[in-house]
Amino acid sequence: MASTQVETVGSGAEKVRLIMAILLVVGALAAYYLLAKQGALAQWGGLAAGLVLAALAFFTAEAGKRLIGFGRDSVHELRKVVWPTRKEALQTTAFVFSFAVVMALFLWTADKTLEWVIYDLILGWRK
């Protein structure tokens, strides 16, 4: 029987950091709208400063450290990918395009055949 792990925010300090990050994002948005009369530079400066502080608060928390670790692992795995050559990519693209055209022709033929069978042969509706 497999055990299911539930990850929760552990310590009180972690909760405080995450709440502080959320409050800083809300504060940055509020600063952006409240500083509208001071000009665009003050608006964007307040927004940027609040978001930078929120990012710092988040990335010092355990959840932020796990996110950074996930990003590093993703980049490491991405370096292992064997990308197709130009010739392979063009061949695969041509195959997919050809298959789509063949399927479109098949479905069109099936549609017209069923239309002819149902409307002309069975119902006798002539156009």
pTM of full prediction above 0.85: no
Q: What are the residue ranges spanned by the domains of the chain? A: 7-81, 84-127
Check residues 5 and 16 and name the one with the higher pLDDT.
16
b/e map of 105-125 (b: 16 or more CB within 10 Å)? eeeeeeeeeeeeeeeeeeeee
Taking only the tens place, the pLDDT of each residue in 54-107 is 999 999 999 999 999 999 999 999 999 999 999 999 999 999 999 999 999 999
